[in-house]
Structure 1
């Protein structure tokens, strides 16, 4: 027997809704935190993904951040114009364009990372270390489940 049924699926009990709203609220706060850098939270998400090597190409970055490839290309154009990202042709396959941070991009990414750390520490005030660790583990488990889930039957 599943957890949800017609008696308990409401926005404030829906995992999907709660995760979405938490993400939207956090991104809005981070947009304000990065305003003086001329960056948005979405820009920073791209920069930090490149920083950690999660997304060596624009297509990989779009997959990593669950964005449209066209929109991601336009965002990389913007970050490149700001002098934060550079595109380099792959020596082994000239069709592949590798993304990397410029020194300015690396510095901006790390400054914003420090702001993200401060924000999350503020938002999690009153949470125990165990509560935070448990939440992270549960979200990682949910992500893994969703990554391998078959399409839902109608």
Structure 2
């Protein structure tokens, strides 16, 4: 079986110079590092820990909000919630105002795990940003917020008012 020659535009493309590729690799490395910690320390994946954290923080209280936040389909979110519910980390509660809506609530064990996630996130980010100056970290965050705004994502406008631009992990 003959393999087709690589088109010149593909072979000329320098993947290592692609901002998209680099962002993707950093995100993948960060996720893998968080998963290594959460599996070892908590017995859950980074996504499960992150979901527990999002529910605990009040940012995502509905499955649809989680789907939007993570850019995954509703059925994948449902499977993740099913696993967390089966483990006794969260529960589904019908809304009194709208019986169609199902709110997510953490169990005491789910809250305990969510409370441990910031230290894990911070530890991973400290390792990834080792050697960066506070100014570089602030500039990186500023650029990432601008990219989010350019994409139409209002998250770029959000900024934790208690965080300092010198803090590596904010």
* TM-score normalised to structure 1 length: 0.85
Q: Give, in whole Å, the separation in 1 of the partners of 2:130 and 2:39.
A: 24
Among residues 25, 30, 38, which one is paired with 2:29 in the alignment? Answer: 25
Shift of 1:82: 1.1
2:65 to 60, 76, 80: 60
Check conservation: 1:46, 1:65, Cα contact below 8 A: no
In the alignment, structure 1 residue 120 sits paired with structure 2 residue 135: no
Higher CA-based Rg: 2
Distance 1:112 1:34 in 2: 8
Contact 1:45 1:65 in 2 (8 A): no
Secondary structure of the residue aligned to 2:91 is strand
Unaligned runs of 5+ in 2: 1-8, 154-170
Runs (4 or more) in structure 1 with deviation over 4 Å come to none
Per-residue deviation, 1:129: 0.6
Q: Give the aligned CA root-mean-square deviation in angstroms.
A: 1.6
Q: C-alpha distance in 2, partners of 1:97/1:12? A: 44
Number of corresponding residues: 142
Does residue 24 of structure 2 align to residue 16 of structure 1? no
- Structure 1 unaligned spans of 5+: 1-5, 149-154
SS in 1 for 2:151: helix
C-alpha contact 2:50 2:117 (8 A) present in aligned 1: no
Deviation at 1:112, TM superposition (A): 2.5
